[in-house]
Amino acid sequence: MPTETVDVTAGFPVEGWDGDGGEVTVGTRAEGRAVVTVHVGPYDTMAETYDALSRWCAGQGVTLASEMWEEYLSDPATDPSTWQTRIV
């Protein structure tokens, strides 16, 4: 869950490449079930979506893992009110 400080990793899906030990590292995400929602709007309003996601999970008896990630689906050059961010 975002706080004052977050770790940031940029990732791209790849197959069959294990890195060469240079500045690029290869990692994996944990496998398993995930709760997913899409936030629509500017990034500074995502806290509302995170709050709604947390309330939904609490109502369903779902315990969240510590790893969460966001996928930015929209071109940032477009109208911020239409931006879509997948929260997993």
In a domain, 14, yes or no: no
Pair 24, 65: CB distance under 8 Å: no
3-state secondary structure of 70: strand
Query: What's the angle, vertex CA 47, arms to CA 44 and CA 51, rounded to 5?
Result: 165
3-state secondary structure of 19: coil
Number of structural domains the chain divides into = 1
pLDDT by residue for the chain (88 residues), tens digit each?
Answer: 666 777 777 777 777 776 666 777 777 777 888 999 999 999 999 999 999 999 999 999 998 888 888 999 999 999 999 999 999 9
Query: How many residues in the chain?
Result: 88
In a domain, 19, yes or no: no
Instruction: For 49-73, write each residue's pLDDT tens digit.
Output: 999 999 999 999 998 888 888 999 9
| Predicted local confidence at residue 20, as pLDDT | 67
Determine the number of helices (DSSP H) and then strands (DSSP E) in the chain: 1, 3
Q: Which domain holds residue 74?
A: 37-87
Q: Which residues share a beta bridge with 37?
A: 87
pTM (2 d.p.):
0.75
In a domain, 8, yes or no: no
